[in-house]
Each structure stands twice: as structure tokens, then as C-alpha cells.
């Protein structure tokens, strides 16, 4: 590992993120819209990580080790208030994966996260949300058969298996569907327009 100090900084940023998420789960507040404190932390982390990337390039496994490279992906995945940064990182992870310096599953999650934020179909079915029947399901995908083929190619389980896991997870985290689905969607669309994901 070439950048031990930077690896430690990245790991600390990701730990702060997960600690806050856990606190919100304990309070039963995780599913109630985008928590203000969490939004501020995500935005702060994305600025810090962007500066690190400008300094050393994308934090690949060979530069910062596997743990910090995974932590880098987590921070990017949560940088939803910064579309330009997420798109920039997707191109960097794409290149790193092609050089075997980052994990293809991290690229799959980021590809889907960006697609959902842009109102486009997912390729891997990694992103889930409540539907109008208050059931947790994958966000829109391009083609169910192809999605499962792509998932299998990078070592993922089937979409059906993952859906069961995700439904159990929201139960374990005491998350519940929004009380007003239409209102929540309108709020999300307003937020996505404000930060620049959709026109």
C-alpha cells in the first residue's frame, strides 16, 4: 500500500458515515426522507474525497489497500448530492476495474445508483425502493433476464434472492414504507432537479 495515511483518512470518513447511519436506524429515522445531518456528512465526505482523488488519482486497491478502496466506493455511492463527482468517479472506477485494481461489484452498484438518480433503468438491479403497494422492490431494470446474467457474471446472487434479502434487511432496520408515496416521489424529484440529476 503506497498511501497509508490517506487510507486511514478514507476509512475514518466511511466509519463516520456508517456510524451516523446506525444512529438513524436506532432512532427509526433512516427511511424518513434524506436526513439533513446525513446529507451534510455525505456532501462533506465527497469534497474531501474529491481532493484526495486530485492528489493521488482514484484510490485503487494497490494505492490504499482493499479496505480503503471499498470505503472510497461507499463514500462515492453516498455522494448523491454531487452528480458531477459521482459521474467522474464512475469513469475512474470503470478504468480501475478494467485494470483489476477495483471490484466489478462496486462499479455495478455505482452504475445502478447513477441510473436510478437519472431516471434510467438499472443494469444490475442493485437499487431498491418502496413501490406504490408499499412493497420493497428493485427500481426499474432494463431486462430481467439480462440483469440476472450480468449479476451472475460478477458473482452476485439472483435478483429474486437479493429481493428477499433486502426485504428482510428493511424489517431488521425497522424501516417502513412512506406514508404518502406520491408526495415522497414529488419531494425526491424536486431534490433531484435541485442538485442536477434531472432537468
Question: Same structural domain for residues 141 and 198?
Answer: yes
Domain match, 5 and 63 both: yes
Residues 28 and 70 in one domain: yes
DSSP state of 122: B
Q: Are 122 and 140 in contact (CB under 8 A)?
A: yes
67, 97: one domain:
yes
The model's pLDDT over 31-48, given as tens digits with 9 standing for 90+, comes to: 667 889 999 999 999 999
Are 68 and 143 in a shared domain?
Answer: no
Domain, as residue range, for 135? 122-199
Instruction: Evaluate whether residue 146 is within a structural domain.
Output: yes
Give 113-160 pLDDT, tens digit per residue.
Answer: 999 999 999 999 999 999 989 999 999 999 999 999 999 999 999 999
List strand residue ranges (DSSP E) for 18-61, in order.
none
Among candidate residues 119, 35, 121, 136, the one with its CA nearest the CA of residue 78: 35
- Judge whether 139 lies within some domain: yes
- Give the CA diameter of the chain: 50
Q: How many distinct structural domains can be found in the chain?
A: 2
> Using N-to-C axis directions, what is the helix angle for 4-26 and 61-77, rounded to 10°?
30
Report yes or no on 181 lying in a domain. Answer: yes
- Tell me the percentage of the chain whose pLDDT exceeds 90: 83
Q: Are 137 and 165 in contact (CB under 8 A)?
A: no
In terms of domains, do 160 and 91 share one?
no
> Using 50, 70 and 90 to split pLDDT, how confident is the model at 28?
confident
Alpha-carbon Rg of the chain, whole angstroms?
17
Amino acid at each position: 500500500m503506497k498511501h497509508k495515511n490517506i487510507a486511514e483518512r478514507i476509512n475514518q470518513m466511511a466509519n463516520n458515515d456508517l456510524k451516523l447511519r446506525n444512529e438513524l436506524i436506532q432512532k427509526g429515522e433512516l427511511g424518513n426522507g434524506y436526513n439533513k445531518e446525513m446529507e451534510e456528512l455525505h456532501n462533506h465526505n465527497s469534497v474531501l474525497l474529491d481532493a484526495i482523488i486530485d492528489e493521488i488519482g482514484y484510490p485503487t486497491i494497490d494505492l490504499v489497500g482493499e479496505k480503503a478502496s471499498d470505503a472510497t466506493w461507499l463514500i462515492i455511492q453516498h455522494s448523491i448530492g454531487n452528480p458531477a463527482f459521482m459521474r467522474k468517479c464512475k469513469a475512474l472506477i470503470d478504468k480501475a476495474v478494467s485494470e483489476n485494481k477495483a471490484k466489478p461489484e462496486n462499479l455495478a452498484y455505482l452504475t445502478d445508483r447513477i441510473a436510478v438518480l437519472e431516471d434510467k433503468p438499472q443494469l444490475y438491479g442493485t437499487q431498491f425502493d418502496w413501490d406504490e403497494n408499499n412493497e420493497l422492490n428493485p427500481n426499474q431494470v432494463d431486462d430481467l433476464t439480462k440483469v440476472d446474467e450480468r449479476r451472475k457474471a460478477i458473482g452476485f446472487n439472483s435478483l429474486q434472492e437479493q429481493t428477499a434479502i433486502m426485504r428482510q434487511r428493511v424489517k431488521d432496520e425497522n424501516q417502513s414504507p412512506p406514508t404518502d408515496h406520491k408526495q415522497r416521489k414529488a419531494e425526491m424529484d424536486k431534490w433531484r432537479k435541485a442538485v442536477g440529476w434531472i432537468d
